[in-house]
């Protein structure tokens, strides 16, 4: 039973007499506990709502097109509380945060509903049998699952959770039910790499086509690891070895199954100083949101965008700057040099921002803070516009990780700031029109 916060004026629920403050008890005889129940059971053309209002309990019948919404709004998106993580993973990034950050950053999400609705990754360790059965009944697909290893004993050790070893068995049930799964393996040097990584890849490939893609991502290690598991970063040679192992097995999968399935994160290629595969290798970029193929996709879009560059005046003086993380610095610098070959008066400096906030092992742009940007750019020539990647901001787009704002940074640096997406078309268009 959930409280109805509001009823959209003119909606089917409004016209049927549902009121703000009513409690929704059931839909078509099924109990309603959260957003998944609600979304699943309103898809029928005839919807019978059991409503609790004051002392009364009664039904309201709504007729509508099959998949139309009925117009109810609730206190929270999920209609109840988020489910938090029960694990103590040896690589957990949240455990490596400094004190004094906003409370929301310390919340460890592990909610299967958000995996289906928002693409969040889950470990399957806080699920009961009824949760698994509901996923199968509702065909909640696709799901994003943090696997890390298919070795039950090793998974329990890595997640510090004695219940973590059942993940692969649960995934087999999902596969039998036709649930599509995208997986990730956060790779820890000397723990789940080497032979353990090969075991995990082979067992996950056995669940194809249900397991349709797997990313292999190096663990992010900040400088705040006191009293945590003693992990070491991957060296360039380590990364090259991992790439060779993953690409080699992915080629086996392509030959036997028709798809590669397994992909290394861009960070592996950058650290290993390896060329990125071409766009066809990534098979539609199923893991691009996980940092897999992001730079290759942007490079291909950049090339296509530059073919249309004649609509911009190549002789107009443009003065600007770009700041990015250490990992993407060489790539962005290369794009700017290519742009200068056609835009003769482009004066654009690219700045490499070291992550002093989290530690210099963290090289991705998405974890750069406003204060690091200020400290490293305050005495630099920035031109008329400073371009920053939008991934530096939180989801709402209004703050950096250290709670500073773009407006604060603009005032401190005395320059206009424009954010660009990880998209070659957006990158070219903004630099050539806004600088």
Residue 78: pLDDT above 90? no
User: In the prediction, which pLDDT does 435 show?
Assistant: 85
Q: What is the pLDDT of residues 339-350, one digit of tens each?
A: 999 998 999 999
What pTM was estimated for this model as a whole? 0.83
Q: Give me the mean pLDDT over the 63-82 stretch.
A: 81
User: In the prediction, which pLDDT does 116 show?
Assistant: 52
User: In the prediction, which pLDDT does 117 show?
Assistant: 52
Answer yes or no: CATH 2.60.20.30 is held by domain 2-74: no
Residue 361: pLDDT above 60? yes
Residue 113: pLDDT above 90? no
The three-class DSSP label of residue 140 is coil
User: In the prediction, which pLDDT does 396 show?
Assistant: 79
User: In the prediction, which pLDDT does 80 show?
Assistant: 64
Domain extent listing, the chain: 2-74, 94-291, 299-434
What is the C-alpha separation between 82 and 72, in angstroms, rounded?
20
Q: Which two tokens stand for residue 54?
A: 């004051």
Q: Tally the C-alpha atoms within 13 A of residue 46's C-alpha that lie toward its C-beta.
A: 3
If pLDDT is split at 50, 70 and 90, which confidence band does 199 have? Answer: very high
User: In the prediction, which pLDDT does 121 show?
Assistant: 86
CB 259 within 8 A of CB 284: no
Q: Give me the mean pLDDT over the 307-333 stretch.
A: 91
Element (H, E) at 167: helix 167-176
CATH topology of domain 299-434: Rossmann fold (3.40.50)
What is the C-alpha separation between 227 and 95, in angstroms, rounded?
10
Q: Give me the mean pLDDT over the 115-121 stretch.
A: 62
Q: What percent of the chain has pLDDT over 90?
A: 77
User: In the prediction, which pLDDT does 187 show?
Assistant: 98
Q: What is the pLDDT of residues 203-238, one digit of tens each?
A: 999 999 999 999 999 999 999 998 999 999 999 999
Q: 60-64, 118-122, 197-201, 352-356: lowest mean pLDDT where?
A: 118-122
Q: What percent of the chain has pLDDT over 70?
A: 95
The larger pLDDT score, comparing residue 109 to residue 215, is at 215
| Mean pLDDT for the chain overall | 92
Angstrom CA distances, 425 to 300, 327, 390, 406, stand at 10, 21, 14, 23
The three-class DSSP label of residue 263 is strand
Q: What is the pLDDT of residues 17-46, one digit of tens each?
A: 999 999 999 999 988 887 778 888 898 899
Pairing of strands 2-7, 318-325: unpaired
What is the C-alpha separation between 211 and 263, in angstroms, rounded?
13
The larger pLDDT score, comparing residue 119 to residue 423, is at 423
User: In the prediction, which pLDDT does 84 show?
Assistant: 67
DSSP string across 374-426: HHHHTTS---SEEEEEGGGS-TTSS--TTS--HHHHHHHHTSEEEEE-S-HHH
Query: Which strand ranges, in their side-by-side order, compose the sheet holding 121-122?
Result: 121-122, 143-146, 181-187, 211-218, 262-264
Q: Give me the mean pLDDT over the 123-149 stretch.
A: 90
If pLDDT is split at 50, 70 and 90, which confidence band does 110 have? Answer: low
The three-class DSSP label of residue 116 is helix
The region that residue 283 occupies, defined by phi over 0 for left and psi between -120 and 50 for alpha, beta otherwise, is: left
The larger pLDDT score, comparing residue 237 to residue 394, is at 237
CB 123 within 8 A of CB 110: yes
The dotted CATH code for 94-291 is 3.80.30
């Amino acid at each position: 039973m959930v409280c109805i916060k509001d009823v959209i004026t003119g909606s089917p629920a409004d016209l049927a007499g549902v009121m703000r403050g009513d409690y929704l008890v059931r839909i078509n005889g099924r109990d309603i506990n959260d957003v998944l129940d609600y979304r699943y059971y309103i898809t029928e053309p005839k919807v019978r709502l059991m409503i609790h209002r004051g002392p009364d309990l009664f039904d309201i019948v709504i007729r509508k097109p099959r998949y139309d919404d009925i117009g109810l709004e609730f206190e929270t998106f999920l209609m109840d509380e988020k489910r938090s993580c029960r694990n103590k993973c040896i690589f957990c990034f949240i455990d490596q945060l400094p004190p004094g950050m906003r409370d929301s950053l310390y919340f460890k999400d592990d909610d299967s509903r958000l995996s289906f609705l928002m693409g969040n990754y889950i470990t399957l360790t806080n699920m009961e049998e009824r949760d698994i059965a509901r996923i199968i009944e509702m065909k909640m697909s696709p799901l994003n699952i943090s696997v890390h290893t298919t070795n039950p004993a090793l998974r329990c050790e890595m997640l510090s959770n004695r219940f973590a070893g059942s993940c692969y068995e649960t995934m087999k049930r999902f596969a039998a039910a036709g649930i599509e799964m995208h997986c990730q393996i956060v790779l820890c040097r000397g723990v789940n790499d080497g032979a353990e990584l090969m075991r995990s890849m082979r067992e996950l490939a056995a669940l194809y086509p249900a397991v349709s893609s797997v990313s292999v991502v190096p663990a992010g290690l900040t400088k705040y690891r006191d009293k945590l598991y003693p992990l070491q970063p991957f060296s360039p040679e380590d990364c090259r070895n991992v790439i060779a192992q993953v690409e080699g097995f992915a080629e086996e999968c392509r030959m036997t199954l028709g798809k590669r399935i397994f992909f290394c994160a861009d960070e592996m290629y950058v650290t290993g100083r390896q060329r990125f595969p071409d766009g066809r290798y990534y098979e539609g970029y199923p893991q691009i949101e996980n940092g897999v193929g992001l730079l290759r996709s942007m490079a291909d879009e950049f090339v296509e965008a530059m073919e249309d560059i004649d609509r911009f005046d190549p002789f107009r003086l443009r003065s600007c700057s770009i700041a990015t993380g250490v990992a993407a610095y060489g790539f962005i610098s290369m794009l700017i040099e290519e742009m200068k070959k056609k835009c003769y008066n482009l004066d654009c400096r690219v700045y490499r921002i070291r992550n002093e906030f989290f530690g210099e092992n963290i090289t991705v742009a998405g974890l750069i803070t406003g204060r690091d940007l200020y400290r490293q750019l305050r005495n630099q020539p920035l031109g008329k516009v400073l371009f920053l990647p939008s991934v530096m901001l939180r989801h709402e787009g209004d703050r950096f990780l250290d709670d500073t704002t773009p407006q604060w940074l603009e005032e401190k640096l005395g320059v206009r700031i424009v954010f660009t997406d990880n998209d070659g078309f957006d990158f070219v268009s903004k630099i050539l029109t806004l600088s």
